[in-house]
Amino acid sequence: MKTTVQLLEELTNIPSPTGDTQSIISHLGSILDEQHIPNHKTNKGGLMVTMPGENDNEHRFITAHIDTLGAMVRAIKPDGRLKIDLIGGFNFNAIEGEYCTIHSENKSFTGTIMMHQTSVHVYRDAGTAKRNQENIEIRLDEKTSSIEETRALGIEVGDFVSFDPRTEITSSGFIKSRHLDDKVSAAILLQFLIQHKEEKLPVTTHFFFSNNEEIGYGGNSNIDPRVVEYVAVDMGAMGDDQQTDEYTVSICVKDASGPYHLGLRKHLKALCDTHDIPYQLDIYPFYGSDASAAMKAGADVKHGLFGAGIESSHALERTHQESVDATEKLVTHYLFSPLSE
């Protein structure tokens, strides 16, 4: 059996910008099929697994999202380079200098995301020009210098663009990569399903690999009416005034949508205290999750959120094996615990 970190590395290397997630969903489905774990795709393209529990009258719903930040071709510029439109909430400077792949209808092309005014030998404002849609472009690794030549390659407006993850696991236990949000959590849930597929949980639980979280509506549907608890396993945000770190599991008490359910939060905290799981309670000020999206959609559930601490979210991210381990332990103890009060 692969380790969670091995699964994580495998998942980060499968391009899956929001809107173009078929490949990774099929990959997850193949792994589950090989393990003889029943699963099905939803109409929106997500993937659902249901594990039976002793209590089948009240259900749990737990989700991790496999869609990532990305871009689309906005226009082909007169010199053959590409203008892009962002998918997800991040800044243009977070992708400057990154290698990328353009996924056209019949073929993929590589390129580099860079400023038009990159050369300091030519542009006086190379360092000061705004990093925005007008100035950031994709330099294709193809012989093209016009709209017509680029279009002849098969590239068109609306083609998806994925960013190279550059995944690396260091000897000191750090995991550096794009898209740790939220493929860390997806790997954890996948590992749980493989490890515990023969066991019966205390509560019937639906595992949902969501594919539209980065644009705000990944897990707000497909919720069985018997679900009473909804937990999003997602990243913990780090920065000034944040408690979250790279070595513990982060339990969110409030994000931009408002407070999370107090009773469920206390239940998660008590599990950490009882089982010696290192954790931090935190507020994420500019953040939304599939759990908060479900609440806005009208789901009548207790909602919670926790996950590994991720440094430099929505850019070149990093976490540590210790944070992954802590999150994995909380997932396991939560799913084998009774419902919260």
Looking at the annotation, which residues are catalytic?
Answer: 213
Q: Is 185 helix (H, G, I), strand (E, B) or coil?
A: helix
Q: Which two tokens stand for residue 65?
A: 């999202």
211 neighbors 25 (Cβ within 8 angstroms) = yes
d(CA 74, CA 160): 10
Torsion angles phi and psi, residue 273, rounded to 5: -65, -45
d(CA 132, CA 130): 6
Q: Is 41 helix (H, G, I), strand (E, B) or coil?
A: strand
181 is in an annotated binding site: yes
| Amino acid letter for position 225 | P
Q: How far is CA 7 from CA 4, 27, 162, 185, 327, in A?
A: 5, 11, 20, 11, 15
d(CA 178, CA 65): 14
314 is in an annotated binding site: yes
Q: Which two tokens stand for residue 183?
A: 């493929």
234 is in an annotated binding site: yes
d(CA 55, CA 314): 38
Torsion angles phi and psi, residue 248, rounded to 5: -135, 170
282 is in an annotated binding site: no
79 is in an annotated binding site: no
Sequence ranges of the binding site for Zn(2+): 65, 181, 214, 234, 314
Sequence ranges of the binding site: 65, 181, 214, 234, 314
